[in-house]
Structure 1
């Protein structure tokens, strides 16, 4: 079997997308949708954070199971699973911050510990946390657990920076979005102009896109008195869903190359 044939075979079992500019565009849209969608279920429908988390957890587990059972990369399976992690992450972060009562700093600390533990266990078992190494079911489970914790942490960070209650810094949604957007530009600059590990930069960027989406989502649907536009959460979610679907259709989607990465 020649190298070209081997590469093609390996790519057929790689079920995560290549990290391109298009990937990040869809990712930010998905995180924003996760914020407005999560708020619609827990706040607009008045189901509460615990019930909302249970609903989204069931959706998340179902979609991850389908993702793992799939034999190749499917954009319209992968990205709904990402949205499920953002909606579940939103309700989990809100549950820690508000229902448990640990506040934004406490919630961010707890979730940071969970994320670092997930990455540590993944690295300890697999020897790498690169997305290019996700070619086994075990690695996929590590990947999706880590994705979930990273999305949850992103929500907690966004609330901490933007919120003025529960220990928040009170910078507001607009300034918070600018801060996280600037941080992502710094990460992009480090990516292009240094040789720092691409795997580390990926996970840093993945976490940062979540609070960017969270603050944009909060800006869209929170009351005007809290610095938002007070748009209908359901309508905002449907518009974001349509935008995301359009991006998936128009932006080329391909599976990531396999390998250990750096």
Structure 2
């Protein structure tokens, strides 16, 4: 019995970072874009009310995730989706309703993300996902993820609209940046922790521009897909991926 407990203690409540992890992460961030737009635009709740709704869901999901004793893929990814939907509506609210624009929203969120990472590092001595072994570390993890998801939305919108790259150009840009990080992972000695967070952040704007490409009007460069249908299809893809590619908890390193 003690050996079983010792073995379980070696594992975290976050998944092992594999190719399947990144595939599901990109799909989840795309779902966050289409799902957030479905509530704020298609349902006409507006950015502020939608943010309140998704923030409540995010808080509930984080509480459940922290209270669980071991890694549960469905709970973990439900929490990720909650962060990306609240990130979508919160970024849209900051960019559009507050009138600070995409550049202003992006700059503000970069500051918030850096502050979150620095506070986490000063408090815990590391920001590695392999050392998340306490409720305090988990709180830092999820707050940082929420800021990264929100930043990704603002950055994706800024790139596609203000920078004039469009949705296709934005997808190519962020896809190329992710490939650069993959190359750095295999052929350089750059910190794996910083490469992880770089990739984690960049998958969000990639998902944002892909989500916008799916549901925005043809006149705006999109495919004009129904937001509800796109969201259901993405959710089905995520669930199927979790069934096919069974995810394991990441090993802890103390």
User: Common fold, TM-score beyond 0.5?
Assistant: yes
* TM-score tier after normalising by the smaller chain length: over 0.9
Q: What is the match of residue 48 of structure 1?
A: 46
Structure 1 position 197 matched with structure 2 position 191 = yes
Structure 1 position 149 matched with structure 2 position 143 = no
TM-score, normalization by structure 1: 0.94
Structure 1, unaligned runs of 5 or more? none
Among 96, 118, 121, the residue aligned to 1:120: 118
- Give per-residue Cα distances to partners, 1:138-186, cap 9 Å, x unaligned: 00000000000000111111000001xxxx1111001100110010000
Runs of 4+ in structure 1 deviating by more than 2 angstroms, as ranges, are 4-7
Deviation of 1:8 after TM superposition, in Å, equals: 1.4
- Map 1:154-233 → 2, pairs under 5 A: 154-163=152-161, 168-233=162-227
- Give per-residue Cα distances to partners, 1:189-213, cap 9 Å, x unaligned: 0000011100000000000000111
Question: How well do the aligned residues superpose, as a CA RMSD in angstroms?
Answer: 1.4
Q: What is the match of residue 133 of structure 2?
A: 135
Deviation of 1:19 after TM superposition, in Å, equals: 0.5
Q: What is the match of residue 99 of structure 2?
A: 101
Deviation of 1:259 after TM superposition, in Å, equals: 1.3
Q: What is the match of residue 237 of structure 1?
A: 231
- Counterpart-to-counterpart distance in 1, 2:9 and 2:144: 23
- Counterpart-to-counterpart distance in 1, 2:29 and 2:155: 13
Q: Secondary structure at the match of 1:195?
A: coil
Q: Secondary structure at the match of 1:228?
A: coil
Cα distance change, pair 6–188 in 1 and its aligned pair in 2 (3 A): farther
TM-score, normalization by structure 2: 0.97
Contact 1:17–1:256 (8 Å) recurs in 2:
yes
Structure 2, unaligned runs of 5 or more? none
- Counterpart-to-counterpart distance in 2, 1:220 and 1:246: 20
- Give per-residue Cα distances to partners, 1:213-232, cap 9 Å, x unaligned: 11000000001111000000
- Map 1:32-47 → 2, pairs under 5 A: 32-47=30-45
